[in-house]
Amino acid sequence: MQLYYARVFHPNHAMSLCQHGAVYIHASQYNGSLTWQNHQAQEIIAFLILERLYREMASLPDSPINEETGNRQIRTCIVIDEAHHYLGRNNEFLDKLIREGRSKGFVVILSSQSPKDYRQKFDYGQFIENKFIFKCQVNKGELQNLIKSDDATAARMVQEVMNLPKGDCLFNHSTSSKQSFTRLRASQFHEAYQAT
């Protein structure tokens, strides 16, 4: 989807990003159409979109709670791939989306290359409820900080994480009273997703 056609930044007729269903914006498509360095342009686009999302979210009432399950209705799911490009930038709108989004029905999914990427001035790791850890190079301290575990658990998991087959991950659920991880097989997004 191109930003122009999505009318994300149109001054008079900008569409709502929060109430428009699925909006997929793939910034790497703009390699040839931008005149300044592509990476910087992608960051600017992402930050502007995050600001728009936050401002829309802040204007909404709290998301309704299902009386039977006690869960909040999810209104918007924000997925940020290659999040290490943004986590160290101290973006106040990303921080606010993560801190304040739950009550408004916003879910933020961050995908990055290393557990250490989540420990910045703002410790993103403390707000991550569900963790999917794929194969990566990691040391015990980085892993322990991310999963908030004891030394023995982190030491055991380091080798397991570094030897995971492609597509496998370790998953923990935030409602678990004990810090335990389950091994899952994840479908490859790029194999299942067909851009329209």
Same domain, 85 and 138: no
Q: Give the span between the Cα atoms of 115 and 128, in whole angstroms.
A: 11
Q: Is the same domain home to 5 and 71? A: yes
User: What are the Cα distances from residue 69, in Å, to 100, 138, 186?
Assistant: 21, 37, 27
Q: Are residues 65 and 145 in the same domain?
A: no
Res 8: pLDDT: 57
Residue 81: its pLDDT value, please?
A: 82
My answer on whether 120 and 189 are in the same domain is no
Tokens, residue 131: 């963790």
Cα separation of 28 and 14, whole Å?
Answer: 22
Per-residue pLDDT tens for 21-51?
Answer: 555 565 555 555 544 456 677 778 888 888 9
Name 79's Cβ contacts closer than 8 Å, sequence gap at least 6: 109, 111
Q: Do 149 and 196 sit in the same domain of this protein?
A: yes
Q: Which of 109, 128, 147 lies at the terminal end of a domain, its last residue?
A: 128
pLDDT at 1: 38
Looking at the fold, whether 85 and 146 belong to one and the same domain comes out as no
Q: Give how many domains the chain has, as a whole number.
A: 2
Closest CA to 111 of 85, 74, 138: 85
Domain's final residue, options 107, 128, 149: 128
**Residue 138 sits in the same domain as residue 187:** yes
- The whole-angstrom separation of Cα 97 and Cα 75 is 13
pLDDT per residue, tens digit, the chain (196 aa), is: 344 445 556 556 566 776 655 555 655 555 555 444 566 777 788 888 889 889 989 999 999 999 999 989 988 888 888 888 788 777 889 889 988 998 999 988 888 888 888 877 777 777 777 888 889 888 898 888 888 888 888 888 899 999 999 889 888 865 555 567 888 887 766 666 655 4
Parent domain of 179: 130-196
From first CA to last CA, the distance across the chain in angstroms is 8
Residues 62 and 72 in one domain: yes
**pLDDT given for residue 3 in this prediction:** 43
User: Do residues 69 and 134 both lie within one domain?
Assistant: no
Asked if 105 and 75 touch (Cβ cutoff 8 Å), the reply is yes
* 51 vs 89: CA distance, rounded Å: 14
DSSP state of 69: T
The per-residue pLDDT for 175 is 54
pLDDT at 158 (0 to 100):
92
Answer yes or no: do 149 and 119 share one domain.
no
- Confidence at residue 4, expressed as pLDDT on a 0 to 100 scale: 42
Query: How far is the C-alpha of 27 from the C-alpha of 40, rounded, in Å?
Result: 11
Handedness of CA 47, 48, 53, 59 (dihedral sign): positive
Point out the domain boundary residue: 128, 161, 188: 128
Whole-number pLDDT of residue 5: 46
- Please list the helix, strand and coil fractions of the chain in percent, rounded to the nearest 5, in that order: 40, 15, 45
3-state secondary structure of 102: helix
pTM, to two decimals: 0.74
8 Å CB contact between 86 and 80: yes
Same domain, 167 and 183: yes
Q: Can you give the pLDDT at residue 57?
A: 92
Regarding whether 191 and 153 lie in a shared domain, the answer is yes
